[in-house]
């Protein structure tokens, strides 16, 4: 079984090298976009956890010269096309959403996150950190997306997973959990795809008594 998984990884690795993508993870986005129509020409896209840039490359191809892609990661990302900009920032930092908005030409159509925690080997810890990153992506998406916008976020399945999906359902009209072929079958990673952002949740107005 492990040999089969190794061959699968090697297959996408070779394809990425041949096609000029910076990581084999590019094919996860390609497959999910083909299935759900996440990216459109002219879109403004935010890619969180973007290093080394495989998803940035796919997004830039899909949105074309009339679109714009902003990549965010803790580490520097080598330059890409003229419609791609990158930032060094922590998606868990409360200030990052404001920084992202300042670097967008307008509100985003799509927020992507393929961010992963540093794997500790302790499953409960890795799952919790993955959910924390996903919630960070959701928080940023809630600040920068236009109404009707789309979200795609990776997360490891576990006991906190249903609660995260429920949070996303409150903010989007349509939510689907999916796993692309490029992901290893044995991996607990899945992607939550959401469409139809409802807009920022606002506090209910105070009612006057009397």
Residues tagged active-site: 154
Name every residue whose Cβ is closer than 8 Å to that of residue 126 and which is 6 or more positions away in sequence. 117, 119, 120, 156
**How many residues belong to the chain?**
210
* Cα angle: 38, vertex 194, 12; to 5 degrees: 50
Max Cα separation, the chain? 73
Question: What is the secondary structure of 112-145 as a DSSP string?
Answer: EE---PPP-S-HHHHHHHHHHHHHHHHHHHHHHE
Residue 24's alpha-carbon distances to 87, 107, 137, in angstroms, are 22, 29, 22
CB 113 within 8 A of CB 133: yes
Question: How far apart are the C-alpha atoms of 26 and 63, rounded to whole Å?
Answer: 15
């Amino acid at each position: 079984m492990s040999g089969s998984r190794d061959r699968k990884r090697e297959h996408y690795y070779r394809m990425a090298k041949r096609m000029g993508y910076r990581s084999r993870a590019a094919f996860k986005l390609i497959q999910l976009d083909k299935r759900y129509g996440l990216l459109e020409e002219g879109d403004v896209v935010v890619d969180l956890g973007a290093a080394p840039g495989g998803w940035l490359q796919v997004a830039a191809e899909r949105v074309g010269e009339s679109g714009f892609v902003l990549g965010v990661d803790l580490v520097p990302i080598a330059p890409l096309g003229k419609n791609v900009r990158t930032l060094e920032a922590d998606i868990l930092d409360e200030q990052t959403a404001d920084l992202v908005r300042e670097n967008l030409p307008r509100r985003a159509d799509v927020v992507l996150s393929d961010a992963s925690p540093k794997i500790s080997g302790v499953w409960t810890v890795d799952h919790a950190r993955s959910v924390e990153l996903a919630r960070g992506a959701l928080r940023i998406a809630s600040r920068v997306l236009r109404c009707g916008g789309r979200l795609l976020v990776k997360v490891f399945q576990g006991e906190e997973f249903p609660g995260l999906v429920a949070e996303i359902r409150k903010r989007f009209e349509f939510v689907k959990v999916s796993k692309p072929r490029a992901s290893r079958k044995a991996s607990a990673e899945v992607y939550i795809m959401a469409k139809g952002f409802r807009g920022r949740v606002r506090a209910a107005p105070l009612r006057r008594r009397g």
